[in-house]
């Protein structure tokens, strides 16, 4: 694998980031980090979507300019991702000057080649969706099914993209590439939507939407959200209709677009059609994740259950975001909805990260210090009965990531932790030491520590700080590629001293971890 190009959806900046935004960015960051363990060149793109009527109206209500609103909220997203250790390569904003210029060129090219045409239109427009809706898609009360608001009747002369021109070739492509849309059950939804697809509006009249990118040849029209927003995946790489950059040639097509299921239609129908019109290859995969509910209820401002991504870190006084990252990533099977609750968060991260994984490392190192002064003797090295499961787990985890099964992969890692814990219990090194079977005792401890090196590598994408602490205490190189992992990682000689053994993760309800208890 020479390169891996991964993107998130770009977030709309008419509000601050919430836990749903964080879920997608955490998933994407974990995938990106995993692939850094398999190839040397990973490009991770995220960013913000900054044009449209909602931003125009929100800014007006706040008495500021749209650009001021965008600047303020884009920074909130950047700050949140920094707090969550989201390690992106580039953060694109659709108000970036180079993005706007390329979008104008893309629009102009499609207009000149006949894929875009001007047309008078009257339809039902949902501001929340930023799109026109068919009457049959509305609820019985005539509301948008996603936003539960009545769409407004809009009559305009706009530019339209000939989506119907690409209908048959898109249907054929999706059927012939069953892994194009992940999970596969979403592909049937897309195929059903394609059956009655219509040409789509790709501009808005300036009289209605001033905050947008101008159409080069028509000062009365603004380029509408989808050509603007979706094109970020190629403009960020330096795509140009005349002379694409070397960066674009190197990374395109994307290996995966990670998006929410609510915008699957735009990414699996509109975006591929735009790319076909530009004569560009399609992304290899579109991974549509589910939604995150809060205590089994959909997030809603009216319900007051919208959680900011950093509030969990603050409320539990977490030193780093690893526990939250792990919990969110393991909250739902591939493509399904997940749920967040404080009680479940506390229970799961304590069980998996503190009691099982952290405690296993801590007590094994402590016994090595107690019985052998922290030294691994040559006679402790030999055949490791845990090796087959551990190296098999590496392959299983890789296979899960290839299918974007991030939660499923995390369960395999914890299964390996559980196997190592069982091995310690079954072989009772404390009993072996009491019986003065010191070589056997040292072999058990060394076998576990060798496997803990593999566990640190596998858990790294989810918990980069915990993994680094584990690797430091094990003197293990965390930059080891997954294909280079062995079950013989611990070097002979002095490994660690008592003062260097530290818990890698404290229980979140402990007196030390939860400072609010210290009263």
Is 279 found in the same domain as 366?
no
Tell me, yes or no, whether 318 lies in a domain: no
447: CATH:
1.10.730.10
Is 270 found in the same domain as 367?
no
d(CA 48, CA 51): 10
d(CA 250, CA 299): 39
Comparing 74-88, 324-338, 496-510, the range with the smallest average pLDDT is 496-510
d(CA 151, CA 130): 10
| Burial class of residue 406 (count of CB atoms within 10 Å of its CB; 0-12, 13-18, 19+) | buried
Assess whether pLDDT exceeds 90 at residue 286: yes
pLDDT at position 515 is 43
Is 432 found in the same domain as 289?
no
Q: Residue 45 — φ and ψ, nearest 5°?
A: -115, 135
Is 364 found in the same domain as 293?
no
Tell me, yes or no, whether 110 lies in a domain: yes
Q: Residue 463 — φ and ψ, nearest 5°?
A: -130, 75
Tell me, yes or no, whether 11 lies in a domain: yes
Tell me, yes or no, whether 413 lies in a domain: yes
pLDDT digits (tens, 9 = 90+) for 15-65: 889 999 999 999 999 999 999 999 999 999 999 999 999 999 999 999 999
The residue ranking higher by pLDDT, 147 or 177, is: 177
- The model's pTM is 0.93
Is 349 found in the same domain as 237?
no
Tell me, yes or no, whether 445 lies in a domain: yes
Assess whether pLDDT exceeds 70 at residue 91: yes
pLDDT at position 305 is 58
Mean pLDDT of 168-185: 97
Q: How far is CA 98 from CA 92, 234, 271, 435, 519, in A?
A: 10, 12, 20, 72, 54
pLDDT at position 120 is 86
Question: How many domains does the chain fold into?
Answer: 2
Whether the CB-CB separation of 132 and 125 falls below 8 Å is answered with yes
Whether the CB-CB separation of 30 and 406 falls below 8 Å is answered with yes
Partners of residue 182 on adjacent β-strands: 287
Domain end: 240, 268, 298, which one?
Answer: 298
d(CA 404, CA 182): 8
Q: How far is CA 516 from CA 277, 316, 348, 508, 511, in A?
A: 58, 8, 20, 11, 8
Domain end: 298, 318, 352, which one?
Answer: 298
Is 430 found in the same domain as 509?
yes
pLDDT at position 291 is 92
Share of the chain above pLDDT 70, in %: 96
Q: So which residues are the catalytic ones?
A: 18, 21, 126, 129, 144, 147, 298, 301
Mean pLDDT of 494-507: 95
pLDDT at position 299 is 57
Tell me, yes or no, whether 212 lies in a domain: yes
Is 378 found in the same domain as 230?
no
Whether the CB-CB separation of 510 and 317 falls below 8 Å is answered with no
Q: For all residues of the chain together, what is the average pLDDT?
A: 93
Is 89 found in the same domain as 152?
yes
263: CATH:
3.40.50.620
Tell me, yes or no, whether 261 lies in a domain: yes
Is 354 found in the same domain as 286?
no
Domain residues for the domain of 93 are 4-298
d(CA 480, CA 38): 9
Assess whether pLDDT exceeds 60 at residue 183: yes
pLDDT at position 155 is 79
pLDDT at position 300 is 58
Is 254 found in the same domain as 368?
no
Tell me, yes or no, whether 376 lies in a domain: yes
Is 220 found in the same domain as 123?
yes
Is 364 found in the same domain as 262?
no
Whether the CB-CB separation of 375 and 495 falls below 8 Å is answered with yes
């Amino acid at each position: 694998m020479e390169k891996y190009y991964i993107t998130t959806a770009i977030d709309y900046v008419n509000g601050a980031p919430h836990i749903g935004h964080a879920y997608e960015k955490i998933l994407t960051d974990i995938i990106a980090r995993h692939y850094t363990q398999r190839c040397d060149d990973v490009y991770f793109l995220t960013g913000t979507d900054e044009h449209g009527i909602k931003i125009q109206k929100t800014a007006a209500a706040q008495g500021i300019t749209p650009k001021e609103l965008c600047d303020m909220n884009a920074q909130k997203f950047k700050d949140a991702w920094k707090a969550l250790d989201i390690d992106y390569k580039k953060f694109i904003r659709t108000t970036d000057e180079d993005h706007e210029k390329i979008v104008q060129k893309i629009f102009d090219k499609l207009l000149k080649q006949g894929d875009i045409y001007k047309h008078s239109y009257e339809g039902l427009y949902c501001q929340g969706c930023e799109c026109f809706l068919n009457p049959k898609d509305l609820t019985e009360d005539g509301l948008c099914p996603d936003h539960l608001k009545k769409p407004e009747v809009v009559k305009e002369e706009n530019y339209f993209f000939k989506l119907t021109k690409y209908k048959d070739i898109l249907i054929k492509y999706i059927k012939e590439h069953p892994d194009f849309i992940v999970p596969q059950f979403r592909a049937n939804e897309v195929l059903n939507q394609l059956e009655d697809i219509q040409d789509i509006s790709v501009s808005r009249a300036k009289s209605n939407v001033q905050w947008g990118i101008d159409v080069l040849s028509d000062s009365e029209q603004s380029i509408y959200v989808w050509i603007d927003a979706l094109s970020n995946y190629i403009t960020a790489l330096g795509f140009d209709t005349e002379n694409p950059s070397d960066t674009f040639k190197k990374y395109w097509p994307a290996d995966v677009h990670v998006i929410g299921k609510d915008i699957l239609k735009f990414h699996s129908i509109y975006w591929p059609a735009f790319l076909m019109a530009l004569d560009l290859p399609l992304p290899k995969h579109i991974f549509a994740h589910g939604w995150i509910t809060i205590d089994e209820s959909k997030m809603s401002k009216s319900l007051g259950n919208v959680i900011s991504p950093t509030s969990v870190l603050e409320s539990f006084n977490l030193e780093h975001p690893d526990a939250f990252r792990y919990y969110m990533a393991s909250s739902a099977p591939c493509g399904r909805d997940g749920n967040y609750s404080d009680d479940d968060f506390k229970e799961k991260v304590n069980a998996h990260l503190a009691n099982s994984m952290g405690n296993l490392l801590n007590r094994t190192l402590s016994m090595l210090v107690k019985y052998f002064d922290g030294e691994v003797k040559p006679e402790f090295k030999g055949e490791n009965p845990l090796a087959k499961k551990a190296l098999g787990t590496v392959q299983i985890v890789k296979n899960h990531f290839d299918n974007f099964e991030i939660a499923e992969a995390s369960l395999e890692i914890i299964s390996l932790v559980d196997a190592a814990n069982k091995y310690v219990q079954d072989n009772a090194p404390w009993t072996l030491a009491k019986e003065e079977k010191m070589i056997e005792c040292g072999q058990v401890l060394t076998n576990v520590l060798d496997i803990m090196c593999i566990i640190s590598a596998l858990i790294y994408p989810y918990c980069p700080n915990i993994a680094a602490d584990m690797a430091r205490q094990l003197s293990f190189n965390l930059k080891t590629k997954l294909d280079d992992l062995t079950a013989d990682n611990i070097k002979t000689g002095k490994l660690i001293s008592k003062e260097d053994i530290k818990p890698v993760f404290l229980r979140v309800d402990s007196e030390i971890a939860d400072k609010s208890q210290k009263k």
